[in-house]
Structure 1
Amino acid sequence: MKSLLLRRPIVIALTLGAIVLAGNGIASYAQPLSQKSSAKNTLTLNNHQALPSPNLTLPVRTVTPPAIYAKAYMVTDTETRYPLAEKNADTRFPIASTTKLMTAIVALNEYEPNTIITVSKQAAQISGSEINLMTNEKMTVENLLYALLVSSANDAAYALADAMDGGCQAFVAKMNQTATQLGLRNTRYADPAGLNDEGYSSPRDLATVATITLRYHLLKSIIGTAKRTITSADGRYKHELINTNRLIQPEESLYYSNAIGGKTGYTEGAGHCLVAAANGKDGKQYIAVVLNTNVSSKTASAQESRKLLTWAIQSQ
């Protein structure tokens, strides 16, 4: 039997940086989702921290960007959202498990972190990257989010989605509704894990999703976690998590000390993908999105993302 779930609608606010069409909830520019209000049990778009419109008047950098071997990429900073380097930034591509960033955002709008979810049979049987969740295993939403974003667990994605009123189909509909509200014009989700290559996004849209992800203290902490052990609510099951993002693993040759997290992805159709975030100078944060690297290797997306982030930070 499903746990009682607390659903909280996203509230779109009209600000200087966002134009809202009340009839369909489409915002031309995304705004951040705030932490939960003590006055109202909702997550709202926070007016005073609205994402600015992309600044297209900044001077062009004199340092040439590095050669990036991928079908599409973009690097930007979260303050100006100016595209510092890009290729096919508004072209639609399958995005594999980078989908899970939106899965996490929607989950935090639907459930409290301490909500206990009962793992569905569908979730327990899902293939690919998983942590071997058991049917009827009970996990907190927070632990499922760690599994989702650290180990890229497909079973955690489906556990979160299946627990929603209306099931997985309703959850995916909410993901697409949220994408529309945030002005993501080149994004469509087909499932909560990114296994279905009919889902797609663009580097620019993914950079926006990553920027919003960083506004959630919990999600920012999770994507920067290299390793973690989680247990079921009753203590019967234990799961060891290792982050699939090589940029934050100290023992990896591609470890990047400025990196603060991100999300990997791979399917045969999407190729190797990575959305990565890093700290720069003077408190700035940068986002690099790399989709479908030319070289099909597990390290390729980390290598190309590292090049983009290093260049962006050093040339600022």
Structure 2
Amino acid sequence: MSSSLLRRLSVGLAALTGLLGTSLIGIRAADAVTVPILVADVDSGKVIYAQAPTDPWYPASITKLMTTYVALDLVRQGKVSLDSMITISAAAAAEPPSKMGFKPGTQLTLDNALKIIMVKSANDIAYAIGENLGGSIDTFAAMMNETAVRIGMRDSHWYNPNGLPDPRQWTSARDMAVLARALIRDFPDSHDLFSISAIQFGRAVMPNHNGLLGRYPGTDGMKTGFICSGGFNVVATATRNGRRIVTIVMGQPSPRERDVKTADLFDYAFGQSAGWTSPTLEALPASALPAPPDMRPFVCGGKKPPAIEDGPGALSAPGSAAQLIGGSAANSPALALAAFSNPALRARSLPPRAPLQPIAVWIGRNPAEGQQILESQEAEQKAAAANTRAAKLEAAKAKRLAALEAAKQAREARAERAQAAREAAKEAAKTTAKPAPKLAAKAGRPLPHAASAYTAVETPSMPEAKPGKGLSKPAAKATAHKPAPAKAAPAKESTGKSAAKKPAAKKAAAEE
């Protein structure tokens, strides 16, 4: 055996051992579910490696391969052309991301629409393709199912053209291999559609979500997909030495693990030859599973969904939880987590991506018309932004004026209330005013006995003696009965003087 053959065989066995290493964890447990994996030769349809190839699975955006086949088939039949205009409806514009975000009424050619869904995986554009080519989404889905049966797909059920979650929509790894071969066989002139590394719309450059393009030698297609319920899926083709291999990997927990596992499978497949004993895609037995498993607990869990390329991770299609390795039925989170935590996959990575080579896409019938539309839309956006700013400034000015007027009215109201309060106080003072009490008693009327303590009492002085005459008694009596003066002294001073004069009065009386 030659050294080169031994080297290829050893690389292939190592890759397969690394790929299936975690599978050994789950083999001990009965009734586990395997994530679908399939590797086949494109020309012969011979199966090189298969793992649950016919089990039902949620396809996510690899659905857009089916949408593209139907569209190209209509072009081949002459019913439409690649220059046919696709109009974005309100329903299409409302589809969740990933999307281009075109306004309802925007038009673009079918050719540009197909490039966009293959690279950007825009759900709004795929929906618009279905509406325009089928007349309605239901009619286009019927066309998808009819075409799938005609080209040999037997496990698929289609209900929308973009792959957003629908519990009724599923496929299998075998069916996607059949579809990939049909696209390559029936539309050889459109093969470049599946290997575009990036598109450029205006100034925006959008790379292809297929992480193998520009990183794994020989990769030339096709499409990725992701929803929480289906995990990260890929349909990939690669060519080496004139031999083309198609690899389908589904249900992976991240884009990186999906890409690494697919690269390992390519390495293994290119080191193998599909002999006459290898089964064909048509010979693979049907699955016993009645419906796809739901990978949400293992891919998204209770955490924030991972970065998504084909739709909001919050959406899911209901189903049963799945184990990852083994036989036929369903439910062991421990096995699932064990298989998803493969140390070998965590440690590996692909080389850096080659420089992108963007392909221009546009809205309208041609680039010039598209540029005019973009400039018109940009002018409208600038005008709308200017109007919005002007409206905000006017609203702020009106608010300030209203606040100033309100403050002025409040001050005037307070002043009026204060003035009214002062006037009310004056009126109240006039109404309740009383005359001041009289402090002095009327003339000729003696003071009450009780008031004597508060009235100034003047002690009669000794009369001046005349020569030869003594004091006369009547004069002393007259002085004793002299009426009190009309003006009363302050109470405290009267009390003091009265207390001071009493001994002198007694002395005068004694002398008499």
- TM-score category of the 2 structures, normalised to the smaller one: 0.7 to 0.9
Alpha-carbon shift at residue 166 of structure 1 (Å): 2.9
Greater fraction strand:
1
- Aligned twin of 2:473: none
Give 2:160's aligned amino acid: D
Give 2:244's aligned amino acid: Q
Matched, 1:290 2:249: yes
The partner residue of 2:173 within 179, 200, 203 is: 203
The partner residue of 2:63 within 99, 116, 125 is: 99
Q: Is the 8 A contact 1:99 1:194 kept in 2?
A: yes
Instruction: Give the fraction of aligned pairs with identical amino acids, expressed as a percent.
Output: 27
Q: Is the 8 A contact 2:216 2:263 kept in 1?
A: yes
C-alpha distance in 2 between matches for 1:239 and 1:108: 27
Residue 148 to residue 219, structure 1, CA distance change in 2 (3 Å): farther
C-alpha distance in 1 between matches for 2:137 and 2:35: 31
Q: Is the 8 A contact 1:164 1:170 kept in 2?
A: no
Alpha-carbon shift at residue 165 of structure 1 (Å): 4.3
- Aligned twin of 1:313: 270
State the secondary structure of the residue aligned to 2:36: strand
- Aligned twin of 2:372: none
For residues 160-239 of structure 1, the aligned pairs below 5 Å read 160-197=129-166, 198-215=168-185, 216-230=187-201
Give structure 1 stretches of 5+ with no counterpart: 1-60, 232-237
- Aligned twin of 2:219: 259
- 1:29-72 CA deviation, whole Å, 9 max, x = no partner? xxxxxxxxxxxxxxxxxxxxxxxxxxxxxxxx995434257711
Please, which moves more after superposition, 238-247 or 64-73? Answer: 64-73
Q: Is the 8 A contact 1:98 1:275 kept in 2?
A: yes
C-alpha distance in 1 between matches for 2:204 and 2:174: 34
Normalised to the residue count of structure 2, the TM-score between the two structures is: 0.45
Alpha-carbon shift at residue 218 of structure 1 (Å): 4.8
C-alpha distance in 2 between matches for 1:182 and 1:133: 33
C-alpha distance in 1 between matches for 2:206 and 2:82: 18
- 1:103-141 CA deviation, whole Å, 9 max, x = no partner? 001112233111111111111111021122221111000
Greater fraction helix:
2
Alpha-carbon shift at residue 313 of structure 1 (Å): 1.1
C-alpha distance in 2 between matches for 1:218 and 1:127: 32
How many residues were matched structurally?
242
- 1:160-193 CA deviation, whole Å, 9 max, x = no partner? 0011243111111100011111121111112101
- Aligned twin of 1:38: none
Give structure 2 stretches of 5+ with no counterpart: 1-8, 23-33, 75-79, 274-512
Q: Which runs of 4+ in 1 moved over 4 A?
A: none
Matched, 1:279 2:239: yes
For residues 1-316 of structure 1, the aligned pairs below 5 Å read 64=13, 65-66=16-17, 67-68=19-20, 71-110=35-74, 111-197=80-166, 198-215=168-185, 216-230=187-201, 240-248=205-213, 250=214, 255-281=215-241, 283-293=242-252, 296-316=253-273
C-alpha distance in 2 between matches for 1:73 and 1:186: 15
Normalised to the residue count of structure 1, the TM-score between the two structures is: 0.72
- Aligned twin of 2:469: none
